[in-house]
Amino acid sequence: MKLAQLGVLVAVAAATGTASAQGAPFCASGGAVADDDPACISFEEAAALAAQPDSGVHRVTASNQPTLGSFVTASADDSEGICSEGTCYVRGEGTVSLHATATTQMVFQHWSGCSDSAEPVITIGPLSEDADCVANFGPGLIVVGLSTQGREDGVQAAFEGRCAGQPSCTLMSGNSVTISAPPSGLRYRFVGWSGCSTSESATLTLSDVTQPVAPCVATYERRVLPRLWLWR
């Protein structure tokens, strides 16, 4: 499309507030319109339309956090949208599809911003305003460390289940693990957990672990025993 044609579209859109939503199709939208079709609206022209008040064209941005080990792709579902990398422009009843993909070291967790869906593929639209979409990822494997502090008798806190007897436990993202601290006794009193939790319960369950956690430390204090006086 020539710049002169774009100027006409923008001018009409500004005057009517709806003309751009009823105008030419976006280029290469859903494979129905060729990129070199002079009658279609290019990505750059769509961006210019979106910058105009009341044009009816809205921007969708898609990003991923963290950026290492993950990526997001965006595609228009029909001729009412156009996408390039992580940015799309849509109008009217147009929709776009966003795909979140993780590498072997990461797992997809959920979307934020435009959606709170836990599905890696979502559809955005129709829109009445711009939308910013963030795909959130976490580590695929999470290591939980464990130690005991304040005891000198060699008794240690321990994992339950498949990690029993191990100094650490490797979890798949979203899994849970239970840890038990030895109960208080005559010489030592269990104070609580530090690091991964501040719970004061001797049995600790870390549920739905999706992010790295600090090592779990079972903390004890030595009891002060009263002196026994022998009276003659």
Residue 195 confidence (pLDDT) above 90: yes
pLDDT above 80: residue 19: no
Average confidence score pLDDT of the chain:
84
Going through the chain in order, the beta strands assigned E by DSSP cover 57-65, 70-76, 81-84, 87-91, 96-102, 106-113, 121-124, 131-139, 141-149, 158-159, 168-172, 177-180, 188-195, 203-206, 216-222
pLDDT in tens, 52-80: 988 899 999 999 998 887 899 999 998 89
How much is the pLDDT for 126? 94
Is the pLDDT at 8 greater than 50? The verdict is: no
pLDDT at 12: 34
Which pLDDT value is given to residue 227?
A: 67
Give the model's pLDDT for residue 197: 96
Q: Which residue has the higher pLDDT, 136 or 33?
A: 136
Question: At how many degrees (to 10) do helices 3-16 and 43-50 cross?
Answer: 30
Instruction: Tell whether the model's pLDDT for residue 85 goes beyond 80.
Output: yes
Q: In the chain, where are the structural domains located?
A: 3-139, 141-222
- Over residues 24-53, the pLDDT tens digits come to 888 865 444 445 566 788 899 999 999 998
- Give the model's pLDDT for residue 83: 93
For residue 17, pLDDT over 90 is answered with no
Mean pLDDT value across residues 157-182: 94
